[in-house]
């Protein structure tokens, strides 16, 4: 796994050992960021001004990819200790020490109050646990999601997800389904 675009393109990212983390594939990440960069509801200016939340961060690949492509800041939420250590190592590998970023130890469905809402939100929870609706509800209640935010969620194709938000795009990558919504 590596950063697939931007100023840190090619940087190799670590992954936690075992089956507890399922990183988004390089191919899927490239497709998501192509959509974000070229869609009429996105664009390069949107990416460059983005305040990113990478919830259920795992390796941090989605947030790090956004930073590599010019995002203004990133917050990574992860409760697994080994995954948090990998996120920190990946941040060091990308040399983002000068960027506005932080790693929060928390359950996304019980997120603490945000000091600033995010404009680009990534949700990549464990498959089959109906966490996307619960996470969106908790993050909205805790002021993590800007009213005009773009929300990118990955789930298993088999997962039924009912979200009452405008769907901007949807794409399938093997057993994974990526959906992109507008928060308002």
pLDDT digits (tens, 9 = 90+) for 144-163: 999 999 999 999 999 989 89
121 token code pair: 């939100």
- 24 against 35, higher pLDDT: 35
* 26-182 CATH: 3.40.50.150
The per-residue pLDDT for 137 is 96
Show me where the domains of the chain are located. Answer: 26-182
What value, to the nearest 5°, has the Cα angle with vertex 44 and ends 11 and 140?
Answer: 90
For the segment 169-178, the average pLDDT, to the nearest whole number, is: 92
The structure's pTM equals 0.94
pLDDT above 90: residue 110: yes
* Three-state SS annotation for the chain: CECCCCCCCCCECCCCCCCCCCCCCHHHHHHHHHHHHHCCCCCHHHHHCCEEEEECCCCCHHHHHHHHCCCCEEEEEECCHHHHHHHHHHHHHHCCCCCEEEEEECCHHHCCCCCCCEEEEEECCCCCCCHHHHHHHHHHHCCCEEEEEEEEEEEECCCCCCCCCCEEEEEEECCEEEEEEECC
Can you tell me the distance from the alpha carbon of 14 to that of 1, in angstroms, rounded to the nearest whole number?
7
Can you tell me the distance from the alpha carbon of 128 to that of 81, in angstroms, rounded to the nearest whole number?
22
pLDDT above 70: residue 85: yes
Can you tell me the distance from the alpha carbon of 100 to that of 27, in angstroms, rounded to the nearest whole number?
27
Can you tell me the distance from the alpha carbon of 87 to that of 91, in angstroms, rounded to the nearest whole number?
6
Percent of the chain with pLDDT over 90: 82
Pairing of strands 51-55, 73-78: parallel
């Amino acid at each position: 796994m590596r950063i697939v675009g931007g100023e840190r393109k090619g940087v190799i990212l670590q992954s936690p050992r075992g089956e507890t983390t399922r990183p988004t594939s390089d191919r899927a990440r490239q497709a998501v960021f192509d959509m974000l960069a070229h869609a009429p509801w996105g664009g390069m200016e949107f990416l460059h001004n983005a305040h990113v939340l990478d919830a259920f961060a795992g390796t941090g690949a989605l947030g790090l990819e956004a930073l590599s492509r010019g995002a203004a800041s990133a917050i990574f939420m992860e409760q697994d200790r080994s995954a948090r250590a990998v996120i920190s190592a990946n941040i060091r590998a990308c040399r983002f020490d000068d960027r506005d970023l932080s790693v929060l130890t928390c359950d996304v469905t019980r997120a603490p109050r945000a000091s600033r809402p995010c404009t680009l939100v990534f949700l990549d929870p464990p498959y089959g646990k109906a966490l996307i609706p619960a996470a969106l509800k908790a993050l909205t209640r805790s002021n993590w999601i800007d009213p005009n935010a773009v929300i990118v969620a990955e789930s298993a194709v088999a997962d039924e997800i009912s979200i009452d938000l405008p769907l901007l795009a949807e794409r399938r990558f093997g057993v994974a389904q990526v959906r992109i919504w507008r928060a308002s």
